[in-house]
A and B are shown apart, each in its own frame.
Chain A
Amino acid sequence: MSDLGFTAVAGVNPPLPGRRIEPPSSVAISATGLGEGFFEWFGDLGIFFWQVLRAAVTPPFEWRELIRQLDEVGSRSLPLVAMAGGAIGVIVSLEARYSLSRFGAKSMFPATLVYSVIQVMGPIITGLVVSGRVGAGMGAELASMKVTEQIDAIEASAINPYRLLAATRILACILMLPLLTLAADACALLTGWFAQALVEPLSFHQFVSSGFKGATFSAFLPQTFKTAVYGLIIGLIACFQGMRTRGGAAGVGRAATNSVVLASLFLILADVVMVKFILVVFP
């Protein structure tokens, strides 16, 4: 190995006994910086959440903005969520029919589809679709307002921006996610049944009665309403990333991207925790 090569890797090797201790390399410094940045980000997020929470529970309430955001998050996401749900229904139907046929369990098809869609696929697909559409939109909108001083103008007008901009958007996400999940589930079950009915005769009534046989509310409700937590994650991260943006158009782009990436990541991580929690609380 050449001297040049050794020098290049020396900085990341642990100091050996008797060896001269080198100053921290750029890799070590950037790793430390990354660690600090990680904790700083969570700290800032915590402070942001506290300020939003405090603003949300004290009057005056911004009803008009909340209704506008309910429309923005709910009605405008509905077509996309319905289409994604419909596609998932067909995919699950095709896969389930093939797998169940191999094990001679075709009669289990309706229940497999219902449980797969309502307990697993519907909530997570809705969360990810809304995270992409709403997360990016909110992140970019608020970031653009931040860099053009519109958020400062709101604050200078003696209006609490956490109440007007963040609390309304987060609450809209929390309220709308379960409803959108129900819509996605309904579309998935319809298209799943339809895909099956095209191959083998199966009335919708038969499908429903067989699919939901023995089902209890506790089997489905927690799975649907856990999406309110997804809504909290999507709204909180999008508002946080948007309202702390710096740096012009590049900053707006970064805020939009980070909102989607981080919201999707935290949503999946939260799902891991919630699935376990639901299994324990609603056995």
Chain B
Amino acid sequence: MATAYDIATKQANLEKDGRAPVVAVENLQKAFAGHKVLNGISLSVDRGETLAVLGRSGTGKSVLLRLIIGLAKPDSGSIRIQGQDIEGLALDRMGEIRKKMGFLFQQAALYDSLTVAENVAFPLEHHRREMTRSERADRVMQLLAEVGMEGALKKMPSDISGGMQKRVGLARALALEPEILLLDEPTAGLDPISSGEIDDLILKLQHERQMASIVVTHDLHSAKTIANRLALLNEGSVAIEGTFEDLQQSDIAFVTEFLKLS
């Protein structure tokens, strides 16, 4: 398992020759009301790589994603996005970094007053102002076709199922062609067939776009399918990080129990 020092050294060396990890998190700590949720997490993700973050409920997996995209601030530690430390960045400067990131929320978080098409068009309207109306409509259609939702253009989010909402959320997250994709429980609450479809979709997107992805999930089967590496969190720290085979071969009691019960 890589230590914080290893990652910092790797980061410094790679930064010298311009090959820094796309996302590098070092010794991250975060507490809520005195309760430590993250206790010194260090992780990194390279271009074209998918890291699945697993763990029990309440171990800070979603908090980790929120910290990476800047929706919350860490108590200590650093987060570097393409070599840029995001600590203390102003909202507008952080916005420039966020344009390179796509975020799929656990409940999709679609804008409930907008149609499916308007939801996907939303980031384009704000950041691709040079696009004409027809170019934008074409792009929205293309994105929805990519996630298999081209038939739901004019539907409201409340009129489609949870799985469909996640697909639309994914299309919205991809609208600005991000280099980093953060997925918070993409298959939670879905039936096995819908979960499989979402997994296939993520794999296809990874193959086509070569993004750096972090997927937070409880679903070990899904993690095994879509991720190159897995990190298992326990009590705010990384219990183990590696391939699925590394996890299987581990003799850490928590890891064997987690694998056995998943």
Chain A, range 147-163, C-beta contacts under 8 Å to B:
148-150, 152-153, 155-160, 162
**Closest A residue, CB atoms, query B101:** A156
Q: Is A216 an interface residue (CB 8 A)?
A: no
Q: Is B98 an interface residue (CB 8 A)?
A: yes
A149-B92 in contact given A155-B71, A158-B98 (Cβ < 8 Å): no
State the Cβ distance, A144 to closest chain B Cβ, in Å. 8
Q: Which of the residues B70, B71, B109 comes within 8 Å of A148, measured between beta carbons?
A: B109
Q: Is A26 an interface residue (CB 8 A)?
A: no
A157-B126 in contact given A149-B105, A152-B71 (Cβ < 8 Å): yes
What bracket does the count of chain B residues touching chain A fall in?
Answer: 20 to 34
CA distance A58 to B93 in the complex (A): 13
Q: By the criterion CB–CB under 8 Å, are A157 and B105 in contact?
A: no
Q: By the criterion CB–CB under 8 Å, are A160 and B95 in contact?
A: yes
CB-defined contacts of A60 to chain B, threshold 8 Å? 126, 129
State the Cβ distance, B169 to closest chain A Cβ, in Å. 8
In this complex, the member of A55, A157, A160 whose beta carbon has the largest number of chain B beta carbons within 10 angstroms is A157
Q: By the criterion CB–CB under 8 Å, are A148 and B127 in contact?
A: no
Q: Which of the residues A55, A150, A158, A162 comes within 8 Å of B123, measured between beta carbons?
A: A158
Q: Which of the residues A51, A58, A152, A159 comes within 8 Å of B109, measured between beta carbons?
A: A152
State the Cβ distance, B16 to closest chain A Cβ, in Å. 29
Q: Is B238 an interface residue (CB 8 A)?
A: no
Q: Is B244 an interface residue (CB 8 A)?
A: no
CA distance A159 to B111 in the complex (A): 14
CB-defined contacts of B105 to chain A, threshold 8 Å? 149, 152-153, 156
CB-defined contacts of A159 to chain B, threshold 8 Å? 95, 123, 126
Q: Is B208 an interface residue (CB 8 A)?
A: no
State the Cβ distance, A121 to closest chain B Cβ, in Å. 35
Q: By the criterion CB–CB under 8 Å, are B95 and A149 in contact?
A: no
CA distance A60 to B129 in the complex (A): 10
Q: By the criterion CB–CB under 8 Å, are A157 and B123 in contact?
A: yes
Q: By the criterion CB–CB under 8 Å, are B95 and A58 in contact?
A: no
A156-B69 in contact given A148-B112, A150-B112 (Cβ < 8 Å): yes
CA distance A145 to B157 in the complex (A): 14
**Closest A residue, CB atoms, query B72:** A152
Q: By the criterion CB–CB under 8 Å, are A149 and B107 in contact?
A: yes
Q: Is B136 an interface residue (CB 8 A)?
A: no
Chain A, range 129-169, C-beta contacts under 8 Å to B:
144-145, 148-150, 152-153, 155-160, 162
Q: By the criterion CB–CB under 8 Å, are A157 and B111 in contact?
A: no
Q: By the criterion CB–CB under 8 Å, are B111 and A153 in contact?
A: yes
CB-defined contacts of B129 to chain A, threshold 8 Å? 60
CA distance A167 to B75 in the complex (A): 30
Q: By the criterion CB–CB under 8 Å, are B111 and A150 in contact?
A: yes
CB-defined contacts of A148 to chain B, threshold 8 Å? 107, 109, 112
CB-defined contacts of B111 to chain A, threshold 8 Å? 145, 150, 153
CB-defined contacts of B127 to chain A, threshold 8 Å? 157-158
CA distance A150 to B172 in the complex (A): 13
Interface 1/0 per residue, B57-87 and A, CB below 8 Å? 0000000001001110000000000000000
State the Cβ distance, A281 to closest chain B Cβ, in Å. 37
**Closest B residue, CB atoms, query A151:** B109
Q: By the criterion CB–CB under 8 Å, are A156 and B103 in contact?
A: yes
CB-defined contacts of A152 to chain B, threshold 8 Å? 66, 71, 105, 109
CB-defined contacts of B172 to chain A, threshold 8 Å? 153, 157
Q: By the criterion CB–CB under 8 Å, are B95 and A150 in contact?
A: no
CA distance A51 to B92 in the complex (A): 11
CA distance A155 to B176 in the complex (A): 14
CB-defined contacts of A150 to chain B, threshold 8 Å? 109-112
Q: Which of the residues A145, A156, A162 comes within 8 Å of B71, measured between beta carbons?
A: A156
A149-B109 in contact given A157-B123, A157-B126, A158-B127 (Cβ < 8 Å): yes
Chain B, range 241-256, C-beta contacts under 8 Å to A:
none
Q: Is B96 an interface residue (CB 8 A)?
A: yes
Subset of 26 A-B contacts with CB under 8 Å: A51-B91, A55-B91, A58-B92, A60-B129, A144-B112, A148-B112, A149-B109, A150-B109, A150-B110, A152-B105, A152-B109, A153-B105, A153-B110, A153-B172, A155-B71, A156-B105, A157-B126, A157-B176, A158-B94, A158-B96, A158-B98, A158-B127, A158-B176, A160-B91, A160-B92, A160-B95
Known: A144-B112, A148-B107, A156-B105. 15 other contacts (CB 8 A): A51-B91, A60-B129, A149-B107, A150-B109, A150-B110, A153-B109, A156-B98, A156-B101, A157-B126, A158-B96, A158-B99, A158-B126, A158-B127, A160-B92, A162-B91
Q: Which 6 A-B pairs have the closest CB atoms?
A: A158-B98, A149-B109, A158-B95, A153-B109, A156-B103, A157-B123
